[in-house]
Amino acid sequence: MTLATVEPDGRPSARLVLCRGIDTQAGWLVFYTDRESAKGRALEVNPRAALVFHWDAFERQARIEGLVTLAPDADSDAYWNSRPRDARLAATASDQSQPIASRAAYLAKIEAASGFFAADVPRPKRWGGYRVWAERVELWVGQPTRAHDRALWTRTLAPAGDGYTGGAWSSTRLQP
């Protein structure tokens, strides 16, 4: 999915990340990353995000916008432990979004981490999940002659524990 955030200086920023779960009852989607990365720093300052799923071959698009919270440590640990060892080593070795002299230097950091962590590779404290709580969901379906279908659902979120609860959804059709 495409994840869009706003950098601390106000610049928009978008990148592709993997959606690793959807809780349709609670109304959130989750992805995992280094929380000290550019996206992590952006979300710390402005905990809102926009997501886009696009299926060009099917002329379909889903857009989700909402508030962002950290995923619980237990969820981050479970996902981290499900990853292949090589992926955990690469994430541990990377200071994501920070400059590095060369690819060879990065590969050397991974090799050093491999030697340091002979067996288990623990989740770094800086690495974890983010939940995007849906406040707005828009669906777009391409149609002949560009008379596309668009619909928007919105709801109000209220703080609840470490997340949010959502009010009733309201919907409307949008012109393409």
Domains annotated for the chain, with CATH where assigned, are: 2-82+126-174 (2.30.110.10)
Q: What is the pLDDT of residue 118?
A: 80
Q: Is residue 88 over pLDDT 90?
A: yes
Across residues 125-144, what is the average pLDDT? Answer: 97
One DSSP character per residue, the chain reads -EEEEE-TTS-EEEEE----EEETTTTEEEEEEETTSHHHHHHHHS-EEEEEEEEGGGTEEEEEEEEEEEPPHHHHHHHHHHS-HHHHHHHHH--TTS--S-HHHHHHHHHHHHHH-SS--PPPTTEEEEEEEEEEEEEEE--GGG--EEEEEE--EEEETTEEEE---EEEEE--
Q: Is residue 119 over pLDDT 90?
A: no
Q: What is the pLDDT of residue 53?
A: 98
Q: Is residue 121 over pLDDT 90?
A: yes
Q: What is the pLDDT of residue 69?
A: 98
Across residues 76-87, what is the average pLDDT? Answer: 96
Please state, for a pLDDT cut of 70, what percent of the chain lies above it: 100
Across residues 88-99, what is the average pLDDT? Answer: 94
Across residues 147-171, what is the average pLDDT? Answer: 97
Q: What is the pLDDT of residue 70?
A: 98
Tokens representing residue 112 in the block: 């050093």
Q: Is residue 164 over pLDDT 90?
A: yes
CA distances, 59 to each of 34, 38, 137, 143, 150 (Å) = 32, 31, 17, 8, 12
Across residues 102-131, what is the average pLDDT? Answer: 94
Q: Is residue 43 over pLDDT 90?
A: yes
Q: What is the pLDDT of residue 124?
A: 96
Listed in sequence order, the residues at least 6 apart from 93 whose beta carbon sits closer than 8 Å to its beta carbon are 106, 109, 110, 112, 113
Across residues 63-76, what is the average pLDDT? Answer: 98
Average pLDDT value for the chain: 96
Across residues 67-96, what is the average pLDDT? Answer: 96
For residue range 100-109, what is the model confidence (pLDDT) as tens digits? 999 999 999 9
